A and B are shown apart, each in its own frame.
Chain A
Amino acid sequence: MKMKADRHTVLVGGKRLELSRLNKVLWPEAGLTKADLIAYYWQIAPRLLPHLYKRPLTLTRYPDGIEEGMFYQKDTPSYAPDWLKTYRVVSDDSREIRYLLAEDEATLVWLANQAAIELHPWMSTTDHPDYPSYAVVDLDPATGAEFGDVVEIAGLVRVLLQELGLKGYPKLSGASGIHIYIPLWPRYPYRLTSRFVGYLGELIVKAYPQKATNERLVAKRDGKVYIDHLQNLPGKTIVAPYVPRPLPHAPVSVPVEWEELIVTGSGRGVQPHDFTLADIKVILARPPLFEQMYQAPQSLDKIMPLFAAGEKEGQKVH
């Protein structure tokens, strides 16, 4: 879906939107333009929106394409249309941030027109801002490690979660790693979910020091898979499912089945860049794997003594 004209006024969900610089090339190597990004976000909306509902966003914007400068954006700019939904966070020194909430197609289209390639939602919703609704195990291969190693470590995370009576949902990060989401009741503060993931990491590093590391120093991770639990601290975010990445072929972070990742026999497992922006139809044809996650929040109460001895149970929320 390529548009010829560089400007366009469109009507999305009853909202009038002025689209500009549509021919701006965002992914030079793949030849994908801002029009492609807008078309992608518009079409993926029904898949993506459930993961953004009530979750304040941090954006990464690439106004001149992925090879040029980028910036992070939390605060909604004053020129943004007034129908955009925002969530105010006021800090003690009266600094106010108006986080954007993307809860409809029109907002996604507006964001894409801003060249906001990546959307990073909070792990908590505005209902319980201090209590994340999932923890994420972020697996990232250091230089020298292969995707096969990441898959192997992901397999260990899965085994560990099974032993603990928990279910994890994997997705391709879109870059070179895997993100495993563990849905939780929103009553454990970020500090605890981060500690929980830190504990998983420690066990895996202990069992498999040849390939896994939780070393904070990049230089010391060499050739291993980094298990990042700090990503679960407040203010940190993980790219949402179905969001494209600012990498050469516009790979997309896509939820996958464990069986697609960990393939027995002679089959080929899913690879990090199997899904790109251009594969929107393929992505839409896949089952919405992550949606069931929100229906199945899990409790950490029983296993809390393992990683947070002495800590009382999570706060009860009605």
Chain B
Amino acid sequence: MRSIWKGAVSFGLVNIPVKLYAATQNKSVSFHQLHRQCFTPIRYLKQCPHCQTEVPQEEIVRGYEYESGRFVVIEEADLAELPLPTTKTIEIMDFINLEEIDPIYFEKSYYLEPAEGAQKPYALLRLAMQQSGKAAVAKVALRHRESLCALRVFGKALALATMHYADEIRPVAQLEGIAEEPVLSGAEKEMALRLIENLTAAFEPEKYTDQYRTALLELIRNKASGKQIHEAPAIAPAAGKVVDLMAALEASIKATAEQKKKKAAPRSAPKRRTAVAAGAISTNGKAK
């Protein structure tokens, strides 16, 4: 893994040099755009409509549109001079209970690794957070913005999740569909609660897989190896089979019903208890 940022966790008088790594990877399949005629990858041209020319990377600067059509140019050097302590530090501000943060705040997760020689203070912070059960709210400047973040213990590591600021969360009140509270009956509520109860399970992330991706990769593999793609068998024969199965079931149900009728007929005969099930006889009296 390659670290994406180096700096230090700072709280109180303690400074812990750390490296930051992305904790997650997106596994969706990406495609290239090709020219259908020759299968050449399409290239984007950056061009200036004013000069009517292609613009090389070194001639491109960053501009902020402060009013329509008017820009200020922000140079790399301007950004470096911004007075932000968080460009090199993860500044812990408060320790809080993780459950207090609603998941809606979380953006992206990173791992922190202690830099050379910082193993001990790192372990100490981790232990203290583990034992107190607390997470830290901190600030860090990543990718040209100062992000709010949550620092917590994850397995043997400290993990950092960047977070939205409160004013970035859209208010729920913008949803008109939930403005009015519908009337719910006791039975409806009970049913809904029971449904949840029935479907309640421990969260096991391995259980859920991206089936679309699996199918897509399989398709790619087959095409790449020149194999014929196996299409799903046509619906028609399957439907025929279902009819057969249903017929078999219905025949069985009918046969059972007829048998029951026959059994019910000679009512006068005393109930016999013929031993049929081997071994089943000895305990009849006991279990009700």
Point out residues on A near B: beta carbons under 8 Å. 91-94, 152, 155-156, 159-160, 162-164, 203-204, 206-208, 216-219, 233-235, 249, 251, 256, 260, 263-264, 266-276, 278-279, 282-283, 285-286, 305-306, 309-312
Please give, as numbers and ranges, the residues of chain A lying within 8 Å of B201 by CB-CB distance: 235
Residue B35 CB within 8 A of the other chain: no
Residue B273 CB within 8 A of the other chain: yes
Given contacts A276-B286, A309-B232, is CB(A235)–CB(B202) below 8 Å? yes
Which size bracket describes the interface of B in this complex? Answer: 35 or more
Please give, as numbers and ranges, the residues of chain A lying within 8 Å of B261 by CB-CB distance: none
Given contacts A273-B287, A279-B283, is CB(A207)–CB(B274) below 8 Å? no
- Docked complex Cα distance between A315 and B276 (Å): 43
Please give, as numbers and ranges, the residues of chain A lying within 8 Å of B287 by CB-CB distance: 249, 251, 271-274, 276
- Docked complex Cα distance between A260 and B252 (Å): 18
Given contacts A217-B195, A273-B287, is CB(A306)–CB(B242) below 8 Å? yes
Instruction: From the candidates B155, B195, B259, name the one contacting A264 in the complex (CB within 8 A).
Output: B259
Point out residues on B near A: beta carbons under 8 Å. 154-156, 191, 194-195, 198-199, 201-202, 204-207, 218, 230, 232-233, 235, 237-238, 241-242, 244-246, 248-250, 252-253, 256, 259, 263, 272-274, 276-280, 282-284, 286-288
**B231 CB to nearest A CB, Å:** 9
**A275 CB to nearest B CB, Å:** 7
Q: Are B245 and A91 closer than 8 Å at their CB atoms? A: no
**B188 CB to nearest A CB, Å:** 11
**B266 CB to nearest A CB, Å:** 9
Known contacts A93-B154, A276-B283, A305-B238; 14 additional CB pairs below 8 A are A93-B155, A159-B249, A208-B253, A218-B198, A219-B194, A235-B201, A235-B207, A271-B284, A271-B287, A275-B280, A279-B283, A282-B282, A283-B279, A309-B233
| 21 pairs, A vs B, C-beta closer than 8 Å | A94-B155, A156-B252, A159-B248, A159-B252, A163-B244, A208-B249, A216-B199, A217-B191, A217-B194, A217-B195, A218-B194, A233-B207, A235-B204, A256-B277, A260-B276, A266-B274, A273-B287, A276-B283, A283-B279, A310-B232, A312-B230
Q: Are B283 and A270 closer than 8 Å at their CB atoms? A: no
Q: Are B205 and A269 closer than 8 Å at their CB atoms? A: no
Q: Are B284 and A155 closer than 8 Å at their CB atoms? A: no
The 10 closest A-B pairs by CB, nearest first: A273-B287, A94-B155, A207-B249, A267-B276, A310-B232, A270-B277, A260-B277, A305-B233, A274-B280, A159-B252
Please give, as numbers and ranges, the residues of chain B lying within 8 Å of A279 by CB-CB distance: 282-283
- Docked complex Cα distance between A204 and B242 (Å): 11
Please give, as numbers and ranges, the residues of chain A lying within 8 Å of B230 by CB-CB distance: 312
Instruction: From the candidates B204, B218, B250, B283, name the one contacting A282 in the complex (CB within 8 A).
Output: B283
- Docked complex Cα distance between A7 and B181 (Å): 62
Q: Are B241 and A206 closer than 8 Å at their CB atoms? A: no
- Docked complex Cα distance between A283 and B279 (Å): 7
Q: Are B249 and A286 closer than 8 Å at their CB atoms? A: no
- Docked complex Cα distance between A292 and B12 (Å): 68
- Docked complex Cα distance between A234 and B241 (Å): 29
Q: Are A203 and B246 closer than 8 Å at their CB atoms? A: yes
**B203 CB to nearest A CB, Å:** 9
Please give, as numbers and ranges, the residues of chain B lying within 8 Å of A306 by CB-CB distance: 238, 241-242
Please give, as numbers and ranges, the residues of chain A lying within 8 Å of B155 by CB-CB distance: 93-94
Please give, as numbers and ranges, the residues of chain A lying within 8 Å of B233 by CB-CB distance: 305, 309
Of all chain A residues, the one with the shortest Cβ separation from B233 is A305
Q: Are B280 and A217 closer than 8 Å at their CB atoms? A: no
Please give, as numbers and ranges, the residues of chain B lying within 8 Å of A93 by CB-CB distance: 154-155
